[in-house]
Structure 1
Amino acid sequence: MATQPPASHGTATQPLASRVPPPADAYAGDPAVRAEWDDRYNERHQLWSGQPNGALVAEVAGLTPGRVLDVGCGEGADAIWLARRGWDVTALEVSGVALERAAEHARDAGQGRDAGQVRGTALALRWVHAELVAAVLPPASFDLVSAQYPALLRTPDAAAERALLAAVAPGGVLLVVHHAGMDTRHAADGGFDPADYVWPSMIAELLDDDWEIEVDEQRPRVAPEGGAGAHHTDDVVLRARRLR
Structure 2
Amino acid sequence: MSDEQAWDERYRESDRIWSGNPNEALVAEVADLPPGRALDLGCGEGADAVWLAKRGWQVTAVDISGVALERAAAHARDAGVTVTFERHDLTQTFPEGAYDLVSVQFLHSWQEFDREKVLRRAAESVAAGGVYLIEGHMDHGPFRHEGHQEGNHESNHEGHHEVRFPTPDEVITSLDLGAGWEVLTAEIHPRTQTGPDGAPAKRTDATVKLRRIP
TM norm. shorter chain > 0.5? yes
Which of 133, 158, 162 is matched with 1:193 structurally? 162
How far apart in 2 are the matches of 1:198 and 1:70?
A: 21
Query: In 2, are the aligned partners of 1:87 and 1:124 still within 8 Å (CA)?
Result: no
Q: % of aligned pairs identical?
A: 42
Deviation by residue 1:182-216 (Cα, 9 ceiling, x = unmatched): 6xx99631223125x87754430123211111000
232 and 44 in structure 1: CA distance in 2 versus 1, 3 angstrom threshold: farther
**Paired residue for 1:131, among 81, 84, 89?**
89
C-alpha distance after superposition, 1:45-68 (max 9, x if no partner): 110000000010000022110000
Cα gap change, 1:198/1:150 in structure 2, threshold over 3 Å: closer, same or farther?
farther
Q: Which amino acid aligns with 1:154?
A: D
Distance 2:213 2:196 in 1: 36
Structure 1 pair 243/227, CA: closer, same or farther in 2 (3 Å)? Answer: farther
Residue of structure 2 in register with 1:116 after alignment: none
Q: Secondary structure of the equivalent of 1:178?
A: strand
2:19 paired with 1:49: yes
- Total equivalences in the alignment: 194
Higher relative contact order (CA 8 A, sep 6+): 1
Match of 1:22? none
Structure 2: 5+ residue runs without aligned partners? 145-152
Tell me the residue number matched to 2:68: 98
Q: Pick from 87, 98, 107: which aligns with 2:57? A: 87
TM-score (norm 2): 0.80
Residue 126 to residue 238, structure 1, CA distance change in 2 (3 Å): same
1:101-112 map, 5 Å: 101-110=71-80
How large is the Cα RMSD of the aligned pairs? 2.7
Letter in 2 for 1:106: A
Q: How does 1:125-164 map to 2 (within 5 A)?
A: 125-139=83-97, 141-151=98-108, 153-154=113-114, 158-164=116-122
Decide whether the 8 Å contact of 1:94 with 1:130 is kept in 2: yes
Q: Secondary structure at the match of 2:102?
A: strand
Letter in structure 2 aligned against 1:168: V
Aligned to 2:172: 204
Q: How far off is 1:105 after superposition? A: 1.1
Alignment of 1:179 with 2:137, yes or no, is: yes
**Partners in 1 of 2:82 and 2:92 — Cα distance?**
23
Structure 1, unpaired ranges of 5+: 1-30, 111-122
Distance in 1 (alpha carbons) for counterparts of 2:154 and 2:46: 29
* TM-score for both structures, normalised by structure 1: 0.71
**Which residue of structure 1 lines up, in the alignment, with residue 149 of structure 2?**
none
Instruction: Select the structure that is richer in strand.
Output: 2
SS of structure 2 residue aligned to 1:36: helix
